[in-house]
Amino acid sequence: MVTFLIILLIIVCVALGLFVLIQNPKGGGLATGGGTSNMFGVQRTGDVLEKGSWVLLAAIVVLTLAITTIAKSGGGATAVGNSAIQERLDKTPTPSPIGGNLNNTAPAKPADTTKK
């Protein structure tokens, strides 16, 4: 499920990139060749591209949140990998602190050298 959502997210990102690149920087969209001509509805193309960009942006946000939620709950392909990694981490001995003793025991008390 997570893999499907990631592939869908990549497709939506590529589509958003294309929508942004098609738009004219001055807001004209595909309206090339005449500035103010409304022949064949060219003026509306900018509106469609702008609305499409917002829809794709919203889709990216929703897909990203869905992937994060599914991955954190452990309901995807990544849950199998995480459990194997966690098992290895549980089997690995913990390293001793720097400058500490090697067997993780409490330090010995110094002998009492005072005379009574």
> 43-99, pLDDT tens digit by residue?
566 788 889 999 999 999 999 999 999 988 875 554 455 678 888 888 888 776 676
Is the separation of the CB atoms in 31 and 24 below 8 Å?
Answer: yes
* Residue 36: pLDDT band with limits 50, 70, 90: low
How high is the mean pLDDT of the chain? 76
Q: pTM of the prediction? A: 0.51
pLDDT for the residue 56: 94
What are the helix (H) ranges across 74-109? 78-91
Max CA distance (Å), the chain: 111
Q: At 102, which amino acid appears? A: L
Is residue 109's pLDDT more than 90? no
Q: What is the pLDDT of residue 78?
A: 47
Per-residue pLDDT at 14 exceeds 90: yes
Burial state string for 61-73 with b = 16 or more CB within 10 A and e = fewer than 16:
eebeeebeebbee
CA distances from 59 to 7, 12, 16, 53, 54 (A): 13, 7, 10, 10, 9
Q: What is the per-residue burial (b if ≥16 Cβ within 10 Å, else e) of 2-17?
A: beebbeebeebeebbe
Q: Tokens 């829809």 appear where?
A: 55
